Amino acid sequence: MLKTLRAAAAMLACVLPIAGALAQPAKQSAVAMITDLVGEASLVTEKRTASILDEIAVDQRIKLDAGARMVLVFLKTGEEFDFRGPSLVHVKIGLAEALSGAQPERRSTRFGGGKAIRISPININQGAVLMRNVQGETRLRLLSLADTVTLDAWPEFRWNGSQPGTLLRLELFDDKGKRILEREVGGVSFVLPGNVRLKSGVRYRWLLSGKAANGQAISNSAHFTLASLELRADAENLRPGAAATLSEQVIYAAWLEQKELRDEARKYWRIAAGERPNDSRLRELAGPF
């Protein structure tokens, strides 16, 4: 009898944590995103400071200090809500209002019509592709066409880490492993020549190799894909104009990230990071200048 009770107690101890985990409410999915912020703001429910690229769920409250300005964009509609502090903002489905303070300015963007603009948290730490070397060894850093989709049919390869005046070998392979280009290159960039025709959807690999000043062999490689004609057309149609707001630049960069157009997105993250230099997330996404 005692053994039976102990077995039952052990089983209950295993089941209760599982049941408790299942009973936890599911995390609400985001309906909006902060696309610009100047001054101090805090997420009341989460008890933390708000920042650009924070995803906001329904029923979230955001407190803006005096002098602060925040732009929210709703992910389904693309509509922007521009708030000025001091105010307390309440986020609903497709709507944000001020519970205290001035009501927001509302405006439409070109991202309406069902185009999702959410940025996934896994894309926040992109940066450049680094060669994994032993400490003290020379590194080749691939700055563009590194695990990205490109809009350019004749893109530019960019890197750093080689000594001035040294030549490197650049090789380009298709998804079958066939080498379609081999060149000696100097400097820190190389534009694909016009006689090489990339095909949309093919996952290309480029390899850069050579020797460091001390004779050590150095190399690095990365993959990229040429965007489809449809995606290239969408990117052109959605591209912000010269007079675009910072929020529009951030929205577009987030859309580019979602489409894995990371090199193109980085151009707009750099614009945003330049305007909001204290935002660490924007600086991370901008990568090395």
pLDDT in tens, 224-241: 999 999 999 999 999 998
For residue 128, what is the enclosing H or E element? none
> What global pTM score does this model have?
0.80
Mean pLDDT over residues 209-221, rounded? 86
Residues 34 and 52 sit within 8 Å (Cβ to Cβ) = yes
Instruction: State pLDDT tens for residues 71-128.
Output: 999 988 889 999 999 999 999 998 999 999 999 999 988 777 656 666 554 345 444 4
Q: Which residues of 21-50 are buried (b: 16+ CB within 10 A; e: fewer)?
A: eeeeeeeeebbbbbbbbbeebbbeeeeeeb
Q: Hey, is 254 helix, strand or coil?
A: helix
pLDDT at residue 116, rounded to an integer: 62
**DSSP assignment letter at 172:** E
pLDDT at residue 19, rounded to an integer: 39
Tokens of 42: 């805090």
Number of helices (H), then strands (E), belonging to the chain: the values are 5, 19
Find the DSSP H helices in the chain: 2-23, 229-238, 246-258, 262-275, 280-286
Domain ranges within the chain, ordered by starting residue: 27-118+245-289, 129-226
Overall CATH class of domain 129-226: mainly beta
Cβ neighbours for 2, distance < 8 A, ≥ 6 positions apart: none
Instruction: State pLDDT tens for residues 28-85.
Output: 688 999 999 999 999 998 899 999 999 999 999 999 999 999 999 998 888 999 999 9
